Amino acid sequence: MRIFRLYQINKVMLQHGLDEMIPPKWLPWYAKIARNTFFWLTNKHKDKSEGARIRLALQTLGPVFIKFGQMLSTRKDLLPLDIAKELSILQDQVEPFDSEQAQQIIRHAFGLQRIDQLFSEFDSTPLASASIAQVHSAKIQDKNTGQDQEVVVKVIRPNIKQTIQSDIELMRTLAGVLQKLLPDGKRLRPVEVVEEYERTIIDELDLTHEAANGIQFKQNFENSPALYVPKIYSDYCHKNVMVMERIYGTPISDIEQLTARNTNLKRLAERGVEVFFTQVFRDSFFHADMHPGNIFVAYDNPQDPQYITIDFGIVGTLTREDKRYLAENFIAFFNSNYRKVAELHVDSGWVPSDTDIDDFEASIRKVCEPIFKKPLAEIEFSNVLLQLFNTARRFNMVIQPQLVLLQKTLLYIEGLGRQLYPQLDLWQTAKPFLENWLKEQIGFKAMYNKIYANLPYWSEKLPEIPDLVYDSLKQVKTLPEQQRLQFENQQIQLKQQHKSSQCVMVGCSLIIVASILPIYQNSMWPSITCASAGVICWLLAWKVKKL
């Protein structure tokens, strides 16, 4: 199965001419021989641009590859503009599947004969189509008011799970090979990264899971001026069907329309950073698929713009320890305290404990100092990333699989910020938020909040405290007597062990003598007598030990 899928991937890449984009000098001799071996797989899309061929190849290969294309589409600083523009089509314009098949999935999910038994209106033309699912507009009747409510119906693509699982198995196999062959294999931990990715994308195939995430996000940002989360109609949700409120807004990638609406792009970019850090550090529950196809800007109040987000299939969470280390790292970076950054990496176990702190600090300073105090437009992130990777390799920095989703999301946010407002100072925007969060975690307010949160538990246990104190004092009073008895028992045990050891030694000596006596005596009786005495000594030793 894996070999067949690997052949399919090679076939698609060759048929879309992706091999032609690699300069010949970069290809080793065995790659050239392999390419000539598949001479019948020629480029069938010579009339299309490089960007279109890459997009079509990723789209043909399925959701795992489409997700990769979506992430790349936000990085116009790392890709040629024409390729990034083509890849942005993968955000919500993937080729849809048949609408009749979508209706059949809906009917089967709810046990219906006709689609109008559930929806008063249903548009068979998809609103949008992405890697995992496609959405249709519809109307349902509100149970309280009796009025029709505009909704969107999300339907999982048929037979998508098998394709994803085969790709994941192939990725796991390749990751296992890389982990064994590469010098940095253990440090990069590719197998664990693939397993982390598998958990997230498999969860995305269960729309009841996404519905629960959406409800949680709505609770977290209830009445927030920064982010609006549409209502999820949980009564209409199934494993492969989800119904939620229809929203209207400007796609975040449509800069021309945002500018035409006189949107405050600087405020919008800053608010995006605030929303991200709020999700990560306040809620420890963040949207981990924030590509432009999932983000809109509300039409109302363009000078104080509000985000609207959809698609909650992939979310990330962090432990309290990870949040603390990340926040302290960010603050140290923002304050150019590279010594603190180096020490935090050692304390957290991200680099070996024997790392030379001075050398590590100097390396981090060399990479990061040139980019601070600069707006996004002036930062060459491709060069920065390359230097960071080299630094990580040099100091054996261990990849943290639990942070992969966070790193991917941060790339999305930085890419969006670059598009919206290239002059944005990412560091100064995030610094006040993180400083306040740290104060709430370790200051007097944090101590007060913890005490207040535990008051119900403490008030329940308060009546038991006098009895517990009395029992403790009683145990303290009897402690000297208990220690005396324990000491006497230990002395008795030591004496018994000593006697047992002596009996064993005497028994062994007698048996050795018994085995030698026949050499010097014609009679066997002295030997038998010694052996019997030795056995008796062993029995005495066993009896003493049992006492």
Domain identity same for 415 and 525: no
Q: Is 99 annotated as a binding residue?
A: no
Same domain, yes or no: 360 and 416:
yes
332 is in an annotated binding site: no
Instruction: Count up the domains in the chain and report the number.
Output: 3
Residue 183 lies in a domain: no
For residues 398 and 529, membership in a common domain is answered with no
Pairing of the two strands 133-141 and 286-287: unpaired
HEC string for 145-201: CCCEEEEEEEEECCCHHHHHHHHHHHHHHHHHHHHHHCCCHHHHCHHHHHHHHHHHH
- Does 515 show up as a binding residue in the annotation? no
Given 91, 120, 141, the domain boundary residue is 91
Residue 210 domain flag: no
Residues 514 and 414 in one domain: no
In a domain, 206, yes or no: no
**498 and 416 housed in the same domain:** no
Six-digit token string for 527: 């030997």
66 is in an annotated binding site: no
* 258 marked as part of a ligand binding site: no
Q: What is the pTM of this model?
A: 0.66
Same domain, residue pair 333 and 423: yes
pLDDT of res. 428: 73
Return the pLDDT at 546. Answer: 57
The pLDDT value given to residue 183: 60
Q: By residue range, what is the domain housing residue 69?
A: 2-91
Q: Do 495 and 501 contact (CB within 8 A), yes or no?
A: no
Q: Are residues 429 and 489 in the same domain?
A: no
Q: Please check if 533 is assigned to a binding site.
A: no
pLDDT in tens, 234-285: 888 888 899 999 999 998 888 889 999 999 998 998 888 888 888 888 888 8
Helix H or strand E segment including 79:
none
**pLDDT at res. 327:** 75
Q: How far is CA 401 from CA 170, 193, 194, 261, 433, in A?
A: 19, 5, 9, 41, 25
- Whether 431 is in a domain gets the answer yes
Q: Is residue 115 part of a domain?
A: no
Q: 6 and 42 share a domain?
A: yes
Contacts 24+ apart (CB under 8 A), 133-141: 133/157, 133/207, 134/94, 134/96, 134/97, 134/102, 136/99, 136/102, 137/246, 138/243, 140/233, 140/236, 140/243
β-strands 128-129, 148-156 pairing:
unpaired
Q: Are residues 345 and 271 in the same domain?
A: yes
β-strand partners of 140: 149
Q: Which residues are catalytic?
A: 289
Tell me how far apart the alpha carbons of residues 341 and 75 are, in angstroms, rounded to a whole number. 27
Q: 72: annotated binding-site residue?
A: no
Query: How would you write the pLDDT of the chain (547 residues) with one tens digit per residue?
Result: 566 767 777 787 777 877 777 766 666 666 667 666 666 677 777 788 888 888 888 888 777 777 777 666 665 555 677 787 777 777 666 778 888 888 899 998 888 888 888 888 899 888 888 778 889 999 988 777 778 899 999 999 888 887 777 777 777 776 776 667 656 556 556 677 677 667 777 777 889 999 999 999 999 999 899 999 999 998 888 888 999 999 999 988 888 899 999 999 989 988 888 888 888 888 888 888 777 778 999 998 899 999 999 888 888 888 877 777 777 777 777 777 888 888 887 777 777 778 888 888 888 888 777 766 666 666 655 455 556 656 766 777 766 655 667 766 777 777 777 778 877 776 677 777 777 777 776 656 666 666 766 667 666 666 767 776 766 677 767 777 777 777 777 777 777 666 666 666 666 665 665 566 555 555 555 656 666 665 666 566 555 555 5
Say what the pLDDT of residue 25 is. 64
399 and 510 both lie in a single domain: no
- Contact in structure between 228 and 221 (CB atoms under 8 Å): yes
Question: Could you give the angle at the alpha carbon of 22 between the alpha carbons of 20 and 23, nearest 5°?
Answer: 105
333: in domain: yes
131 is known to lie in a ligand binding site = yes
In the listed set 381, 411, 442, which residue is the last one of a domain according to the structure? 442
163 within a domain of the structure (yes/no): no
81 marked ligand binding residue: no
pLDDT the model gives residue 13: 78
34 is a domain residue: yes
Consult the annotation and say whether 129 binds a ligand.
Answer: yes
Q: Which of 72, 91, 110 is the last residue of a domain?
A: 91
Contact (CB, 8 A) for 43 and 50? no
